[in-house]
């Protein structure tokens, strides 16, 4: 196998000499494991070649084409590969890959201590193929021979990627000869290396005759991929930047073998080289000048080319366009469109726009470098003008803020400077200014006072008619006061008069510094001046009112509470007030009259208060204490304070603590029941005064023909109508309803009187109770009693066609009416008596005899006064209570 390899090398040398300066693409050289300095590796053809270079500094090529180890020390050959470039006469270059392969010999120590050399086991060097080789195919690579072939009849097999694995069928191995063959081109960028496994077997026994041999087939790179740009080519740089300023970096990639010249990229600017530079090795773009001007050109497009092979003639290349955007700086001041301006404005006008000043600026619009800022540099010492910037048009807006006076200045010269919000940068230019001449036009004006405001000092209480000053005006055009009249337009307290012709100010009424119209000692009036043409001017008169001592200190008028303490004398604080100002007021002096009773003493607490001390024990009550209070000037008088001595709780007298105050609604709520009661009394008195005469009944003895005596309560017999004779009139048969309704019947709706003149005489009770609705009175209070007497049927039948007692019809008997009235009157008189008893007892039942009425009534006794003493009596009247008794009293008294 070694002989075959050497033969191939010799063949390469021979082939290399066929074509002048035509080096092979790859070269495998068998070398020792360690290469000593000056060791000759191989030789290449130097005909028609102008020079050689290597990628490995450990090796060099001599002038006669000999490849030698040039390192000063030994180098290791294991896995070492480097390139040799041959320079052609025409300037082109060729590349040759040199692969160094060393011998592998198995050596071992024996037990006798000497070395024994064994035959080299099959171990061929890595095989190399050229990527994308054009063929023809199939193409033999190398023969693989095992040492076991000398003693065995063998055959070979191989497996792995490129054989029976993806990508399959790229390689094959001849079973008998061991020739390794490639069948198609291979792309190194996709498959840089193939690792296959070769095995050798005995043809007879099919047993391995040697260990499996791993083989690497390396794919040598060819420059078949052009470099590519990575990332966007967008860069920005500030205008007017200095030369050499870094703008950006171009980044490129290459898919060819890393570390080889195939990926050595060179960067070139095809356009824009007058303004920009690019580093050929790094791709960094820099400014070539300091004249980049955004206002001339804000965007530059430059063409960048990238080449591999370091830019050699046979290199591959790509081009792209890079965009370089210039950012703005304030290198252009705003410029005026005119050299000067003239404008006119009427006098006395304020807050008026009088001029628009346009400017131009080349800087980037709507940035601080472009937005204008105007300044009035001269002529505005009095502050009559203001200049702003229109945010939409960037113009200067000149305003008159304070009215101008034609008589004082007819022409004003201004100087206005136009600037930017940002300071100037990258330029020697300065801010520009222009003159603006403002002409003030004359206007016929009203009178003008000598000053907008005038101040006079006046003492309060100054006598009326006193002259306090003169306030006059003049005509601005004539500078004269002739013909000007003066009037007041404001004088809240009417204290001042103004002379219409002279403008003299005099006191008209007493000036009081303590008046509500005086604020902090100042009182203002407004005066108007009117000229002959009815034009007016207004001025303000400020009157400073000086204080005089016309107010004495005042003591409080409300009661001062002194809380009573057992075994101790109390005190109260008396605070005085003086409307005057210092030094005409506080500090105050407190004193008691010389003839005081000795019960109190007073001492000064502070400038405005004194302490009133109790000197003797005094009973609770209100005491009037006379005191003398004077101000700092000794002006004062005797005054009285009320001191309330009382027992306190939380500093408040107990009597006051328990007191309550009622508002208007509370008082109204208390008066409303009284008003209603008074109305009720008047109503009852009216009915009492208009009552009818009552029949006086004598209750002595038996009732005779009115009621029959009866001691039974069984159902009675039919009553003979002749026994019941009405005392006044006889009702017509069938007309009992109307007759009864006109009497004292429970259903009577007319007004009645019960016991009009109440006395207690011979067992007769004459009450004093009146009512306007007898039906309500009887039905509400006596239904149960009358039900017991008359069978409980009167309530629903008396108002019908007749009255039915014990199921017996006697409604047509008119004599029944007198019987009913008699009993009703008796009971009513007894009711009136209830209000005459002072000890609030109620009248006892009086026993009466009744005539026999036949069988007893199922309804029970006729009334409470039967001999049997039925429980159905008038005791329920006891529950009516004091209110009913009061009502009876009222009716009785009336």
Q: What residue has token string 């052009």? A: 226
Q: 1-103: which CATH architecture?
A: Sandwich (2.60)
- Model pLDDT, residue 809: 41
Q: How far apart are CA 359 and CA 335, in angstroms?
A: 5
Question: What pLDDT sits at residue 381?
Answer: 93
**CATH architecture assignment, domain 335-441:** Sandwich (2.60)
> Structure tokens of 167?
């990508």
- Residue 753 pLDDT > 80, yes or no? no
Two tokens at 142? 């190398």
Query: Helix 881-893 crosses helix 815-833 at what angle (to 10 degrees)?
Result: 110
The whole-number pLDDT of residue 877 equals 63
Per-residue pLDDT tens over the stretch 522-579: 999 999 999 888 889 999 999 998 888 878 898 988 888 989 888 788 899 999 988 8
**pLDDT over 50 at 758, yes or no:** no
Residue 810 CB neighbour total at 10 angstroms: 19
pLDDT of residue 803: 40
Predicted local distance difference test score (pLDDT) of residue 687: 77
Sheet with 317-327, edge to edge strand ranges? 234-238, 317-327, 299-307, 266-269
Lowest average pLDDT, out of 168-182, 345-359, 428-442, 859-873, goes to: 859-873
User: What are the tens digits of pLDDT across the range 303-324?
Assistant: 999 999 898 888 999 999 999 9
Q: Which of 102-106, 221-225, 507-511 has the lowest mean pLDDT?
A: 102-106
Residue predicted with more confidence, 831 or 552: 552
555: DSSP letter: -
Matching CATH topology for 228-327 and 335-441? Answer: yes
Burial state string for 358-373 with b = 16 or more CB within 10 A and e = fewer than 16: ebebbbbeeeebbbbb
| DSSP β-ladder status, 453-459 and 536-546 | parallel
Confidence of residue 854 (pLDDT cuts 50, 70, 90): low
Q: Look at domain 448-546 and name its CATH class.
A: mainly beta
Residues 6+ apart with CB under 8 A from 88: 21, 48, 49, 50, 94
Q: Which residue has the higher pLDDT, 719 or 632?
A: 632
CATH fold of 228-327 reads Immunoglobulin-like (2.60.40)
Strand partners, 302: 322
pLDDT by residue (tens digit) across 395-416? Answer: 999 999 999 988 888 999 999 9
> Mean per-residue pLDDT for 585-598?
88
What's the topology of domain 121-222? Immunoglobulin-like (2.60.40)
Whether the per-residue pLDDT at 300 is higher than 90: the answer is yes
Cβ-based neighbour number of residue 475 at 10 Å = 22
The better pLDDT of the pair 706, 200 is held by 200
Residue range 359-378, pLDDT digits in tens: 999 999 999 999 999 999 99
Quick: pLDDT tens for 233-264. 999 999 999 999 999 999 999 999 998 889 99
Model pLDDT for residues 654-708, shown as the tens digit of each residue: 864 444 445 566 667 778 888 888 888 988 888 777 654 554 544 444 444 445 4
- CA proximity to 27, closest of 81, 63, 106, 71: 81
Report the distance separating Cα 693 and Cα 318, nearest Å. 144
Q: Which of 67-76, 110-119, 204-213, 218-227 has the lowest mean pLDDT?
A: 110-119
DSSP class of residue 831 equals H
CATH architecture of 560-658: Sandwich (2.60)
Integer Cα distance of 685 and 890 in angstroms: 8
94: enclosing H helix or E strand: strand 93-102
What pLDDT is recorded for position 666? 61
Alpha carbons 169 and 160: distance in angstroms, whole number:
10
Token pair, residue 337, equals 């469109």
Q: Where are the alpha helices (DSSP H) in 76-160?
A: none
Domain boundaries defined on the chain: 1-103, 121-222, 228-327, 335-441, 448-546, 560-658, 688-893
What pLDDT shows up at residue 778?
40
Residues 43 and 10: beta-carbon distance below 8 Å: no
| Ranges 88-102, 416-430, 465-479, 554-568: which has the least confidence | 88-102
**Cα three-residue angle 888-890-894, rounded to 5 degrees:** 120
Note the pLDDT of residue 20. 53
- Phi and psi angles of residue 823, each rounded to the nearest 5 degrees, phi first: -65, -40
Closest CA to 361 of 335, 326, 398, 341: 335
- Which of the 8 DSSP states describes residue 851? B
- From 691, 693, 882, select the one nearest 770 (Cα to Cα): 691
How is residue 204 annotated by DSSP? Answer: T
Do the Cβ atoms of 772 and 887 come closer than 8 Å? no
Task: Kindly indicate the confidence band of residue 749, based on its pLDDT and cuts at 50, 70 and 90.
Answer: very low
Band (pLDDT 50/70/90 cuts) for residue 740 is: very low
Phi first, then psi: give them for residue 574, nearest 5 degrees: -110, 120
């Amino acid at each position: 196998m070694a002989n075959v390899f050497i033969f191939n090398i010799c063949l390469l040398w021979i082939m290399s000499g066929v074509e002048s300066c035509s080096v092979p693409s790859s070269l495998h050289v068998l070398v020792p494991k360690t290469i000593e300095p000056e060791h000759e590796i191989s030789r290449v053809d130097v005909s028609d070649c102008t020079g050689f270079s290597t990628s490995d500094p450990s090796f060099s090529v001599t002038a006669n084409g000999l490849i030698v180890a040039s390192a000063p020390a030994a180098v290791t050959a294991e896995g070492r590969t480097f390139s040799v470039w041959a320079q052609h006469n025409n300037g082109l270059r060729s590349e040759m890959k040199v692969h160094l392969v060393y011998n592998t010999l198995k050596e071992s120590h024996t037990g006798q201590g000497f070395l024994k050399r064994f035959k080299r086991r099959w171990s061929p060097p890595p095989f190399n193929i050229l990527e994308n080789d054009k063929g023809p195919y199939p193409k033999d690579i190398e023969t693989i021979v095992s040492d076991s072939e000398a003693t065995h009849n063998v055959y070979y097999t191989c497996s792995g990627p490129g054989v029976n694995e993806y990508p399959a069928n790229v390689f094959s191995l001849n079973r008998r000869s061991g020739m390794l063959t490639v069948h198609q081109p291979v792309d190194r960028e996709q498959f840089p290396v193939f690792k296959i496994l070769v095995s050798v077997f005995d043809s007879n026994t099919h047993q391995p005759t040697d260990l499996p041999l791993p083989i690497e087939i390396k794919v040598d790179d060819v420059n078949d991929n052009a470099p590519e740009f990575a990332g966007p080519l967008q860069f920005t740089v500030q205008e007017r930047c200095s030369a050499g300023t870094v703008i950006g970096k171009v980044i490129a990639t290459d898919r060819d073998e890393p570390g080889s010249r195939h990926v050595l990229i060179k960067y070139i600017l095809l356009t824009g080289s007058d303004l920009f530079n690019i580093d050929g090795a790094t791709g960094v773009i820099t400014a070539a000048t300091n004249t980049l001007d955004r206002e001339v050109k804000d965007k530059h497009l430059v063409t960048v080319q990238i080449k591999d092979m370091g830019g050699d003639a046979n290199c591959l290349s790509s081009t792209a366009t890079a965009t370089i955007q210039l950012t703005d700086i304030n290198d252009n001041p705003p410029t005026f469109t005119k050299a000067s301006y003239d404008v006119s404005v009427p006098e006395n006008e304020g807050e008026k726009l009088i001029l628009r000043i346009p400017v131009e600026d080349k800087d980037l619009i709507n940035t601080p470098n472009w937005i204008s800022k105007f300044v009035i540099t001269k002529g505005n010492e009095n502050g009559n003008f203001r200049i702003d910037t229109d945010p939409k048009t960037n113009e200067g807006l000149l305003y008159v803020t304070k009215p101008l006076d034609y008589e004082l200045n007819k022409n004003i010269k201004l100087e206005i400077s136009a600037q930017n919000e940002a300071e100037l940068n990258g330029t020697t230019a300065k801010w520009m200014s222009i003159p603006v001449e403002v002409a003030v036009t004359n206007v016929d004006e009203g009178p003008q006072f000598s000053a907008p405001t005038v101040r006079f000092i006046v003492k309060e209480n100054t006598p009326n008619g006193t002259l306090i000053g003169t306030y006059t005006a003049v005509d601005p055009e004539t500078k004269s006061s002739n013909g000007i009249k003066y009037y007041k337009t404001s004088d809240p307290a009417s204290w001042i008069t103004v002379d219409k012709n002279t403008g003299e100010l005099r006191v008209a009424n007493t000036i009081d510094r303590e008046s509500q119209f005086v604020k902090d000692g100042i009182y203002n009036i407004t005066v108007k001046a009117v000229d002959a043409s009815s034009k007016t001017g207004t001025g303000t008169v400020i009157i400073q009112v000086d204080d005089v001592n016309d107010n004495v200190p005042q003591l409080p008028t409300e009661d001062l509470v002194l809380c009573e303490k057992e075994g101790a004398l109390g005190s109260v604080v008396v605070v005085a007030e003086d409307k005057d100002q210092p030094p005409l007021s506080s500090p105050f002096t407190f004193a008691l009259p010389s003839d005081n009773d000795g019960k109190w003493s007073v001492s000064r607490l502070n400038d405005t208060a004194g302490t009133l001390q109790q000197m003797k024990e005094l009973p609770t009550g209100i005491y009037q204490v006379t005191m003398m209070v004077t101000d700092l000037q000794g002006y004062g008088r005797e005054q009285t304070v009320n001191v309330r001595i009382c027992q306190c709780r939380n500093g408040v007298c107990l009597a006051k603590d328990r007191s309550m105050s009622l508002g208007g609604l509370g008082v109204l709520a208390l008066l409303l029941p009284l008003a209603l009661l008074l109305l009720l009394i008047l109503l009852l008195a009216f009915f009492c005064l208009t009552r009818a005469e009552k029949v006086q009944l004598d209750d002595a003895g038996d009732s005779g023909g009115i009621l029959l005596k009866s001691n039974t309560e069984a159902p009675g017999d039919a009553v003979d109508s002749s026994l019941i004779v009405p005392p006044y009139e006889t009702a017509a048969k069938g007309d009992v309803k109307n007759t009864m309704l006109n009497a004292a019947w429970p259903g009577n709706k007319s007004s009645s009187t019960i016991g009009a003149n109440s006395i207690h005489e011979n067992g007769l009770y004459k009450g004093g109770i009146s009512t306007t609705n007898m039906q309500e009175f009887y039905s509400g209070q006596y239904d149960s009693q009358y039900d017991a007497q008359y069978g409980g049927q009167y309530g629903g039948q008396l108002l019908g066609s007749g009255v039915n007692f014990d199921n017996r019809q006697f409604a047509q008997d008119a004599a029944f009416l007198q019987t009913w009235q008699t009993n009703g009157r008796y009971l009513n008189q007894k009711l009136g008596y209830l209000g005459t008893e002072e000890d609030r007892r109620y009248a006892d039942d009086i026993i009466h005899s009744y005539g026999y009425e036949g069988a007893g009534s199922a309804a029970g006794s006729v009334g409470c006064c039967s001999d049997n003493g039925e429980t159905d009596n008038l005791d329920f009247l006891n529950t009516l209570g004091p209110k009913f008794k009061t009502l009876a009293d009222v009716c009785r008294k009336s």
